[in-house]
């Protein structure tokens, strides 16, 4: 989750390039204050640089300078740009803005504030769980449009090779998107458990010098359990981010 409410997790899809996503990181120390502050997972934008990939993919399609591959590649690039914009727009819908909170929020939050945050987190979890078919539909639309154009404007061999390459890339994109969305859903689920715990303990804990203070060791131990689960989920998202890079 971004510490900046305006920051959004985005996805950049370029033609014949692998899925690139926004990085989600987490800082979570053993101290209660840092544990709390580390709950916000940063999303750092990684833009897919498709130029070199498109150039490499184009090489087997242009054995000579005067062939008909250039209009096909231009169409492919246009289709990729349109899909990229559609995926970015869809991705922005996953998490409501301002979902990440710092310890200052919990210090001043009312029970209503905590419940509102839980609703937003549950919305993000539901979206991460159910959005994959919408990504697949965007990829299919790109594939179908490019296939129709290639069949009509390129020789059969060129069209077949281009579409085979596109299908391999889109299969990799779909697999990665599936795993990343599942990991994000797990994170939001753990995030909800974290907020639910604090809501149950409302009035019993306090914030002193940037740290949560609980009256009982038992409560402190339970806090560490829910906080640790959230960290583990965030770490999994971070691992997938590295794979995406």
Ranking 10-24, 93-107, 216-230 by mean pLDDT, the lowest is: 10-24
CA distance linking residue 78 with residue 169, whole number of Å: 17
How far CA 174 is from CA of 4, 7, 87, 137, in Å, comes to: 28, 24, 12, 11
Helix, strand, or coil here: 212?
strand
| pTM beyond cutoff 0.85 | no
- Residue 67, pLDDT score: 57
Judged by phi (left if over 0) then psi (alpha if -120 to 50, else beta), residue 48 lies in beta
So where are the chain's domains? 11-244
Segment 127-131 shows an average pLDDT of 97
- Strands (E) in the chain, as ranges, are 11-12, 20-21, 23-25, 42-44, 206-208, 211-213
Q: Which residues on neighbouring strands pair with residue 212, listed in sequence order? A: 207
Ranking 31-40, 68-77, 115-124 by mean pLDDT, the lowest is: 31-40
Exposure string for 7-17, b = 16+ CB within 10 A, e = fewer: bbbbbbbbbbb
Helix, strand, or coil here: 28?
coil
Report residue 68's pLDDT band, with 50, 70 and 90 as the boundaries: low
Instruction: Decide if pLDDT at 202 tops 50.
Output: yes
Phi, psi dihedrals of residue 157, rounded to the nearest 5°: -65, -45
Stronger pLDDT, 92 or 40, i.e. the higher one? 92
Residue with tokens 């009035």: 203
Ranking 9-13, 90-94, 212-216, 233-237 by mean pLDDT, the lowest is: 9-13
In sequence order, which residues have a C-beta less than 8 Å from that of residue 81 and are 6 or more positions away?
none
Question: Mind listing the pLDDT tens digit for each residue in 16-49?
Answer: 333 332 222 222 223 333 333 443 433 333 333 3
- Mean pLDDT of the residues in the chain: 77
Helix, strand, or coil here: 210?
coil
- Residue 31, pLDDT score: 33
Stronger pLDDT, 149 or 38, i.e. the higher one? 149
């Amino acid at each position: 989750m971004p510490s900046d409410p305006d920051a959004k997790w985005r996805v950049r899809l370029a033609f014949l390039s692998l899925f690139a996503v926004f990085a989600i990181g987490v800082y979570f120390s053993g101290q209660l204050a840092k544990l709390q502050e580390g709950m916000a997972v940063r999303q750092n934008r990684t833009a897919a640089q498709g130029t070199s990939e498109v150039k490499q993919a184009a090489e087997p399609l242009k054995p000579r300078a005067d062939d008909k591959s250039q209009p096909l590649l231009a169409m492919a690039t246009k289709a990729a740009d349109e899909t990229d914009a559609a995926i970015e727009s869809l991705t922005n819908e996953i998490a409501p803005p301002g979902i990440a909170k710092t310890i200052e929020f919990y210090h001043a939050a009312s029970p209503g504030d905590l419940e509102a945050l839980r609703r937003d987190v549950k919305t993000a979890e539901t979206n991460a769980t159910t959005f994959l078919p919408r990504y697949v539909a965007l990829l299919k639309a790109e594939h179908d449009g490019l296939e129709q154009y290639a069949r009509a404007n390129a020789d059969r061999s060129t069209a077949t090779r281009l579409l085979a390459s596109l299908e391999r890339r889109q299969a990799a994109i779909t697999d990665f998107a599936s795993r990343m969305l599942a990991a994000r859903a797990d994170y939001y689920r753990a995030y909800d458990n974290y907020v639910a715990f604090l809501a149950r303990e409302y009035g019993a804990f306090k914030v002193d010098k940037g740290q949560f203070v609980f009256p009982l060791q038992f409560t402190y131990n339970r806090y560490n359990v829910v906080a640790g689960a959230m960290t583990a989920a965030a770490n999994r998202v971070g691992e997938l981010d590295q794979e995406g890079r």
